[in-house]
Structure 1
């Protein structure tokens, strides 16, 4: 934690305020008879200072309206996740994922909570809708219909925007228009599934003193099932040992038994020995490769010129997102050592004697139907602001926003474990409860039994954000090389979140010692913090029109922040831009980054969950040091382990140092051409992270480290794994960004825009501190050895846009580089590089008043590469998708304006 450098901050603020006041007085009395020509000034993400040069000292990539309309994607998350600088991110792929309908943006592979998402330069509320709340923005709460363009700052910007901007900033600009615009969209994969439709209506009108815009949107994306893709039909880690006929050990008959198909399980003759692997079940059959997602939203934006110098804005948003995930029918945990005893006189005890503590009953209860998780997320945002200009040209702004997410999470077709214990237990105890139904666990369940056992859990949670900002920017004074630009401001922000899980799920069991239900319990939690910040930013032109110096300028910014949770911090940023000639900009930046522990990370509420992981000790561990004592007969069922995670109130903030050096070439001899290349290096210290279930299991098995975080029963089965966030390590990423854009207008063949955007990762290093103080260095660039975390060295995207007369077309190609699933193996490239190719053509009617687009994504039906690490659906769902070829049709009509 860094202490405040008040003197630097106060110097900049006093300097700006004093010169501003003198400038107002001088310019108010000056004559305006001989005014020079004034060029429009613009604001570029990464700076609060308005300037005439859109090419900043920090690397910025812009997606224009044409770029956004040239794809067949219907969500901002899908579009942004295809950018080369974006790594593995949450999306709707896979029921076994952790997205629960959320869409995230993971810049530089540093995590979604280290990239700041802005809308019109202002923060957006954190997401919710999973089992609890999030600590990053869910891009599915921002309707695509309102987006005009997107700027991606590939640089740290804590000094400009505050915390969370370690990896970069996404700034989404809403559209402005006059008249009506209607868009209708529909599409499907070549296999007839994954249907997607979208409809939006936008109306805008400009009046003498203001404008208004209203947009409404509805999107419906349908599911794709595992059995409908060859890649996902069979899990690579083999089928589960559970099945609808059961796998029973510890019964009076001894051995491993299963019920004979078609028998009712009431006689010892109804059983036979369990045969492995013939009696296994594919528990991933008829689950989702891509889950369904439905959204509807309405957005309103109004502007009004109150006086010549005061302008008002207001915004309102309502967004509703509904998503679900589909899982195999429940397989409840029935252990004799946890209170489940089948009495000798039970009506459905086929053995004629009471079961003991060694009883272990595993059966998939198909009669209850598949488990379903449902999310319903409502997002509200209200914002209002005043801005204007003083007579000297200085601009000011005061802006307030309030955003909130209210979410419900329903887990359907779970089991009431207390009812199961009562229905399997004493006849007298069951008879004493009016609605108790004796359970036949070894045969078909009747409707009365399933109704008695079924439990549907209901959770509620949400996030809140209040954000008040005040900014001022203008010209301080003239220097021989130009005008010194200044920006300064204040921000107050309050973040809060709550999680109210189902009360009965979290209650202590009475009739068994495991859980009240088969749903994962967690403690209710809530938290909040607030902060206030001051910042100062300067742009100073040093030299101009000299030999080898067309111009030379520097940027400097400093931000002081005070958090209610841990105290204060000050962060700085410096940038330099040098044009030896007008056509070439050479730039470099240094930035200090900062991220405070989120409410999710710091709230000490325990949450039981199932974490996807493959147990190295399955089968006894073949002599691995951390598997000593695990029986060779133990075999992991499925690919998840029972775990407990919790926040950590002792977390300290993360800090980072960001460096970048690059060049931008815009040769006048070749109008429309721009070339840029930038090197970057980001080092994050005191990284807040969890080890992760797979890493804990691997460390224990291979080295004996972290074994204290794992609990097993006598049979070897994992009964609990502890994980949670700690300031564990140092993370360093380093690489290159390269962009080439060439626009050619007025040729005989039409107008063309060519774009190539690529990212090369040279270094991604995690330095983990072990229990004994030693450091384990993990080099992760070019690897995919961690579940759902592929980190290729190369990513790239290229496109050609063409327009002539009434026709336009677009072709694009996207590449995800190769990765290695086993870095210890000298054979690199276990997962090959793959290419996706998309094409679309548009015909414009009546001077572009109407248009129709036909397009095909992934025209060569590229399927994800097989991954042995991601064994449930056999590919990395956070990096690739299995839709295959997808065709779509879009109709657009514009009226008025």
Structure 2
């Protein structure tokens, strides 16, 4: 038997259908149905995201948003992350914005605001390896590892799909389809920059393909380079709104006995070296004032640079038919992607104190005051600007090899199998840090008196370091430190699918799919050995980079699943078509055991114009390697301490009334929790699709959804922990304070919170029409958030529930409304497009007071022209009116929410495409 060759089916699929006998009243339609089904066999079978079953013709049983390549090209984007993050259903996501809480060069998608690790990313229906991240790997896919040039279209399933695809598909699924059966050659060049002459961007794509009918070869190469934007080049980010840092580039020195030496009283904030003085005599020093504070965020990257090179090859071969295997097609794919990105921060400002074991000996090479400083009475803070700006540099290499085969078996069974191995290797360099042991030794004028540890290696090249003078080049060479961490994620994946129409029912074919899957995930994180070494000269740490414990972990799983599609009614009054979809998946994890998750879907087309749909789905997410096994590490989080404004609050006992918060960044400890249990979820959605015959080209879809997640794995959040303690007196055991009231540390690791519940409504309206002046395509997509409630059990057994709808916090926002409107026009070789993107208003809480953050509207324009002989040109302006992000006081370091907005501003671009 001959079959029309299938397009490659790269979806994970397993489902078994059972026949359903129908009412005898429908048997009279069998002859007509048989004739219709014979005609349908000439229609190409297709796969649809959200189902493992192959179908003839489109289906609308699930809320799927499709983005074609032509839609991507009109937006002037450089990566698939930029495209997906503009969807109204996507919340705050990691991007190239780079300051506190930076993405370290990764890009993510956060469907329904439920987190990157609850949005499943597939490429041609297959899982993609998790990303590598600075100071530890990721537990979600880095979209920057997927070459933008090879993407043909993207399908976004905005519904729970654990029964279909397995873990992580709680919020939805993004299925990225790559180019298939390409024949020809294309060169694409892109260049752009902002109206402020920064963020210079260059991209080059090359695609080569040859199709011989039965065989196809495809190769793609892509290079992109995006330059940074500095904080001082945007008015919003030039100066932190919370004030300048309590420190100076000249030094801020405190010592209880200095009054007698200097002959003037020492204020609480200490003394500082007068700008321009050498610090070698007492006249160089004066009492410090608030005017001496330093802008530590000057010269930071508000948007970081990102450079990527990708190579992709694909070979498709039609194999000879045999008695068993027919129309069999083999696919081989290879990918290599390299990303280099970095973030730039202020110079190091170490806290050099006697309490931490630092000593400034009485030696004129290191001390102008003529007395030794040691013990708990002295502290010295200054920005080591001579040591250079700190830089975090990432180099991430992604490698993937895949082998797929598909075809037909006797009886018209369609099967496909896919196997892949993939890994991300990350090297993360932290430049222009300080070797604190060498600094401490230099402050001792390279003397070793009182030291018990062997420091012979540190004495090599030792230079006396005078902290009261500008650093010399020799001093910088001695104390400058560059660390290097390495981490890796690996994935092995094998799956098999089988599908067919197993019976003819009165309303249509009973469709079946079944299969199995095996997957193994592994992650390792190896911190720099010097950073992790115990200090030998000071009592604090060896370098200015925080030490942390390495991470090693892995798990594997085996799964089997089934799906059936049962047509119940067809061609009946008020029931043009009624279909039931059932699916179930069994999963067995090496980390926690087994689980079974099911899904029920109903599609009801009353008349040809109107279709209703509903789904109920169970879901789960297994704790990731990072959540289970991450080694402890120290970090910082920007917070607003309520006890600084009101020390009489219930959780502020022992905090002096005179306490003032001097630094918005507080130390925190983060680590894994091997006692975590899986998250479980319940998704319910209902919707309609209206395509009126009386208005050709018009369609309306509306979907209501409700997602409940139990045992939500999350950190409670540093600010939430501090607020909870301050205002209620609960859970204060995770916060450590000094006698002065200053926060010394907050422990904020992952825990199973009680529940997260989110609900809302998605609406999409499309209208296409042809006129005398050209073709018009209108599209409006709106998401309304009805609820985003998080509940957790407190230490006293009570439950705290917070609805974040309309709330904005530190790098998070939950506006009630988000929307996109796009108009495209085409006439002969000329085209134009306009896009409006809307982010609704929110409210943040700062200093115990609510503060409104206004809505944001971006306007984007582009136009293109197709010349003769394969040449086309497109020019565009993104953010036409140069709108800057709304100011946020809780995002204190950078003054806006980096994961919801960006500070790029107006951006011009030009794209040239040549097909040959």
Q: Same fold (TM over 0.5)?
A: yes
Deviation, 1:632, is 5.3
Task: State whether structure 2 residue 45 is matched by structure 1 residue 41.
Answer: yes
Query: Whole-Å Cα distance in 1 between the matches of residues 119 and 705 of structure 2?
Result: 15
The corresponding residue for 1:304 is 317
The corresponding residue for 1:773 is 797
Query: Whole-Å Cα distance in 2 between the matches of residues 446 and 327 of structure 1?
Result: 21
The corresponding residue for 1:815 is 838
The corresponding residue for 1:643 is 668
TM-score by length of 1: 0.94
Query: Whole-Å Cα distance in 1 between the matches of residues 834 and 139 of structure 2?
Result: 36
Deviation, 1:712, is 2.8
The corresponding residue for 2:724 is 699
| SS of residue in 2 equivalent to 1:697 | helix
Deviation, 1:345, is 4.6
Deviation, 1:722, is 1.2
Q: 1:346–1:424: 8 Å Cα contact kept in structure 2?
A: no
Query: Whole-Å Cα distance in 1 between the matches of residues 150 and 509 of structure 2?
Result: 36
CA displacement, residues 498-528 of structure 1 (integer Å, 9 cap, x when unaligned): 0001001011212222111000111111100
> Within 5 A, what are the aligned runs for 1:272-287?
272-275=286-289, 277-287=290-300
| SS of residue in 2 equivalent to 1:232 | coil
The corresponding residue for 1:186 is 191
From the superposition, tell whether residues 381 and 756 of structure 1 become closer, same or farther in structure 2 (CA, over 3 Å): same
From the superposition, tell whether residues 106 and 522 of structure 1 become closer, same or farther in structure 2 (CA, over 3 Å): same
From the superposition, tell whether residues 13 and 754 of structure 1 become closer, same or farther in structure 2 (CA, over 3 Å): closer
Deviation, 1:341, is 2.2
CA displacement, residues 414-433 of structure 1 (integer Å, 9 cap, x when unaligned): 01111122222376318973
**Further displaced range: 356-365 or 297-306:** 356-365
Query: Whole-Å Cα distance in 2 between the matches of residues 440 and 401 of structure 1?
Result: 57
Deviation, 1:463, is 0.2
Q: 1:129–1:376: 8 Å Cα contact kept in structure 2?
A: no
1:518 corresponds, among 531, 536, 544, to: 544
1:724 corresponds, among 744, 749, 757, to: 749
Query: Whole-Å Cα distance in 1 between the matches of residues 723 and 15 of structure 2?
Result: 52
Deviation, 1:357, is 1.0
> Within 5 A, what are the aligned runs for 1:796-815?
796-815=819-838
Task: State whether structure 2 residue 615 is matched by structure 1 residue 610.
Answer: no
From the superposition, tell whether residues 883 and 800 of structure 1 become closer, same or farther in structure 2 (CA, over 3 Å): same
CA displacement, residues 169-196 of structure 1 (integer Å, 9 cap, x when unaligned): 0000002321001110001111111111
Deviation, 1:604, is 4.8
Query: Whole-Å Cα distance in 2 between the matches of residues 851 and 223 of structure 1?
Result: 29
| SS of residue in 2 equivalent to 1:685 | strand
CA displacement, residues 581-600 of structure 1 (integer Å, 9 cap, x when unaligned): 01211000001111000000
Query: Whole-Å Cα distance in 2 between the matches of residues 353 and 36 of structure 1?
Result: 95
CA displacement, residues 53-90 of structure 1 (integer Å, 9 cap, x when unaligned): 42332110000122111111111001100000000000
Query: Whole-Å Cα distance in 2 between the matches of residues 14 and 575 of structure 1?
Result: 14
**Further displaced range: 82-91 or 425-434:** 425-434
> Within 5 A, what are the aligned runs for 1:828-867?
830-846=852-868, 849-867=870-888
The corresponding residue for 1:422 is 441
Deviation, 1:37, is 5.2
Task: State whether structure 2 residue 334 is matched by structure 1 residue 334.
Answer: no
Query: Whole-Å Cα distance in 2 between the matches of residues 341 and 630 of structure 1?
Result: 30
Deviation, 1:14, is 8.8
| SS of residue in 1 equivalent to 2:442 | helix
Q: 2:445–2:465: 8 Å Cα contact kept in structure 1?
A: no
Task: State whether structure 2 residue 500 is matched by structure 1 residue 486.
Answer: no
Query: Whole-Å Cα distance in 2 between the matches of residues 750 and 106 of structure 1?
Result: 37
Cα RMSD, aligned residues only? 2.1
The corresponding residue for 1:761 is 785
1:885 corresponds, among 906, 909, 915, to: 906
Q: 2:317–2:330: 8 Å Cα contact kept in structure 1?
A: yes
Query: Whole-Å Cα distance in 1 between the matches of residues 129 and 401 of structure 2?
Result: 11
Deviation, 1:39, is 1.8
Query: Whole-Å Cα distance in 1 between the matches of residues 739 and 658 of structure 2?
Result: 11
| SS of residue in 1 equivalent to 2:709 | strand
CA displacement, residues 747-804 of structure 1 (integer Å, 9 cap, x when unaligned): 21111111001100010001121111111111101111x2010110100001111111
| SS of residue in 1 equivalent to 2:70 | helix
| SS of residue in 1 equivalent to 2:338 | strand
The corresponding residue for 2:428 is 409
| SS of residue in 1 equivalent to 2:133 | strand
Deviation, 1:531, is 0.1
The corresponding residue for 1:167 is 171
CA displacement, residues 264-296 of structure 1 (integer Å, 9 cap, x when unaligned): 333333221111x21111111111111110001
**Further displaced range: 380-389 or 50-59:** 50-59
Query: Whole-Å Cα distance in 2 between the matches of residues 615 and 469 of structure 1?
Result: 51
1:104 corresponds, among 104, 108, 117, to: 108
The corresponding residue for 1:628 is 653
2:701 corresponds, among 673, 676, 690, to: 676
Task: State whether structure 2 residue 767 is matched by structure 1 residue 742.
Answer: yes
Query: Whole-Å Cα distance in 2 between the matches of residues 73 and 637 of structure 1?
Result: 41
| SS of residue in 2 equivalent to 1:357 | helix
Q: 1:743–1:752: 8 Å Cα contact kept in structure 2?
A: yes
CA displacement, residues 837-862 of structure 1 (integer Å, 9 cap, x when unaligned): 11111010127x11101111111111
Query: Whole-Å Cα distance in 2 between the matches of residues 248 and 633 of structure 1?
Result: 21
| SS of residue in 2 equivalent to 1:191 | coil
Q: 1:63–1:149: 8 Å Cα contact kept in structure 2?
A: yes
Q: 2:192–2:910: 8 Å Cα contact kept in structure 1?
A: yes
CA displacement, residues 223-281 of structure 1 (integer Å, 9 cap, x when unaligned): 11111111111211011011111222234215311112223333333221111x21111
Query: Whole-Å Cα distance in 2 between the matches of residues 344 and 203 of structure 1?
Result: 71
The corresponding residue for 1:201 is 206
| SS of residue in 2 equivalent to 1:42 | strand
Query: Whole-Å Cα distance in 1 between the matches of residues 848 and 274 of structure 2?
Result: 45
The corresponding residue for 1:351 is 369
The corresponding residue for 1:380 is 399
The corresponding residue for 2:334 is 316
> Within 5 A, what are the aligned runs for 1:72-111?
72-111=76-115
| SS of residue in 2 equivalent to 1:477 | strand
Query: Whole-Å Cα distance in 1 between the matches of residues 729 and 613 of structure 2?
Result: 48
The corresponding residue for 1:19 is none
Query: Whole-Å Cα distance in 2 between the matches of residues 427 and 130 of structure 1?
Result: 34
Query: Whole-Å Cα distance in 1 between the matches of residues 276 and 674 of structure 2?
Result: 54
Query: Whole-Å Cα distance in 1 between the matches of residues 381 and 447 of structure 2?
Result: 25
Query: Whole-Å Cα distance in 1 between the matches of residues 482 and 314 of structure 2?
Result: 40
